[in-house]
Structure 1
Amino acid sequence: MARESVASQFWQAVSEGDDSRAEALVAQLGAEDVPSLTEQLRSTQPDIRWWAARALAQVGDARAVSGLAGALADPEVAVRAVAVRALAQLSSRCPDPVRTCLPAMAALLRDPDGLVRQAAADALALCGEDAVPLLAEILARGSAPERSRAAYALRKMACLPAAVVLYRYLDDENLLVRTHAYEGLDDLGYLENTLLLP
């Protein structure tokens, strides 16, 4: 199947509202489709923007990071949510440019919509150790809801640098922060070995 044919079939499926077919075609897109997908992040149609971000999560590279970062401020809830997830997925392929987006991604922890807040917390967890210092800062100075989501993200990382941060919050006044700290350390088996934590 020619590359142009895959891209055109993908957009045809999107325009027809055939989500299953569009999703199947995402896997057949390639790096050569990144510029046109990035361009579609500026479409006037929310569905087009959503699918562009979704496809970039799969095939995007450093060229897509700036466009996806801009989509974090999209007026549509679903587009903001998929954009932050896409950046998280790109973090494993092009960590340096995504690292510069971490503050904007973390800002979505206080988004008005719960779907976006959850997507941001999950995305920051996927970014791994690069996001630990930023999440530690939020835990130290953020609002109560932001702190809860930051603790959740650190717990979900399940790595030693996150555990070191969570250890400081085992006695936090915020019940959710305490719970995430306790369960995160327990999941890693560190509650019995806290003296070994730096």
Structure 2
Amino acid sequence: MAREDINARISAVKTLEMRGGRQSINLLAEALKDERYEVREAAYHAICRLGYEAMPEMVQALKDESFYARMYAALAISDMVINEPDKKYGDDVIDALAQALLDKSIYVRRSAYDALKVLEYNKVFKSLIGSLESPDAGIRLEAIIALGRIGDKRSMKALIRALYDEDVNVRKCAIIALGRIRDKKAVSPLSGALSDPDGGVRKEAVKALGSIGGPRAVSSLIQALKDMEPSVRDAAREALSRINKSEMTRSCPTLKGGGRKPGISRICVAIEEALSEYSKERQASLSSFNM
């Protein structure tokens, strides 16, 4: 087969993708059965880019006699489910995937299994998020703990809202969960938690900020050295001391000639000065106590 003919079919696939619509998607689904690998791949990637819009055709393709059609359809559905987890997938999708688990091809079975696994995970995940609205503090607490173990960044907004929960244990566990996720977007709300009336909550916020790291977290940790609770102050000192070497190297890069970037080096100097000052104040306090 001439290379020009293959290129022409690939070009046709691109045109169909740009046009979109049911007719174009049906033709792309047919292209999944093309005799040439390059054309099949082009059609598959075009369908994936079209995303959820192509779901009905892919469900139908799972029943096609062609192995290629079934394999690419299973792969495309799996990609759609992973990339668009918040979409609502009906019983027809789940039934088709369940049937595909019995396919004679391991490639079809594996992709169908991956898609079903993500769908089940999303179902559980959404249920946990919904549980945070429960009037029962125990249920909210268990949901927070589970979300923390999962570590999905999609739970960030819900966990941040939980920082204002009336139950102190829910607030603590929300902070712990955010610390495990380690997303720098949580630094600002966690810094706000340093004003929580409960010392235990403030201590967990310090630990979480220490886990996340970065200049903004360091600034908040330095402020926490002045907390009224000794345990919070000690946690802040430990968090600042534990900020790993690689983080410090990134924050304070050494320039040729031994100098340091002036804007960034102030962060390192601030940490050293804050810890030194804290150590002096603590020593003075102990000396006063022993007199």
Shared fold by TM > 0.5?
yes
Alpha-carbon distance, 1:47 to partner: 1.8
Alignment match of 1:44 (pick from 166, 169, 191): 166
Q: CA RMSD in A?
A: 3.2
Alignment match of 1:136 (pick from 250, 272, 277): 272
The TM-score, its normalising length taken from structure 2, stands at: 0.41
> In structure 2, how many angstroms separate the alpha carbons of the residues matched to 1:146 and 1:139?
10
Are residue 117 (structure 1) and residue 233 (structure 2) matched? Answer: yes
> In structure 1, how many angstroms separate the alpha carbons of the residues matched to 2:171 and 2:181?
15
Alpha-carbon distance, 1:146 to partner: 5.1
14-23 vs 120-129, greater mean Cα deviation: 14-23
Are residue 102 (structure 1) and residue 218 (structure 2) matched? Answer: yes
Map 1:1-198; keep pairs closer than 5 Å. 1=121, 2=123, 3-8=125-130, 15-16=137-138, 23=145, 25-91=147-213, 95=214, 99-128=215-244, 129=248, 130=251, 132-138=268-274, 141=277, 144-145=280-281
The TM-score, its normalising length taken from structure 1, stands at: 0.58
Query: 1:56/1:137 Cα in 2 relative to 1: closer, same or farther (>3 Å)?
Result: same
Q: Which runs of 5+ in 1 are unaligned?
A: 149-173, 175-198
Identity of aligned residues (%): 25
1:10–1:26 contact (8 Å) kept in structure 2? no
The higher relative CO (CA closer than 8 Å, separation ≥ 6) is in 1
Output one character per residue of 1:144-188: Cα deviation in whole Å (capped at 9) or x when no partner: 23579xxxxxxxxxxxxxxxxxxxxxxxxx9xxxxxxxxxxxxxx
Alpha-carbon distance, 1:138 to partner: 2.6
Give the letter aligned to residue 30 of structure 1.
Answer: D
Output one character per residue of 1:28-66: Cα deviation in whole Å (capped at 9) or x when no partner: 141100011111112232222111111101124132111
Q: Which has the larger radius of gyration?
A: 2
Q: Kindly tell me the number of residue pairs found equivalent between the two proteins.
A: 142
Query: 1:17/1:145 Cα in 2 relative to 1: closer, same or farther (>3 Å)?
Result: farther
> In structure 1, how many angstroms separate the alpha carbons of the residues matched to 2:182 and 2:231?
23
1:41–1:71 contact (8 Å) kept in structure 2? yes
> In structure 2, how many angstroms separate the alpha carbons of the residues matched to 1:114 and 1:141?
15
Alpha-carbon distance, 1:7 to partner: 3.7
1:31–1:59 contact (8 Å) kept in structure 2? yes
> In structure 2, how many angstroms separate the alpha carbons of the residues matched to 1:73 and 1:112?
11
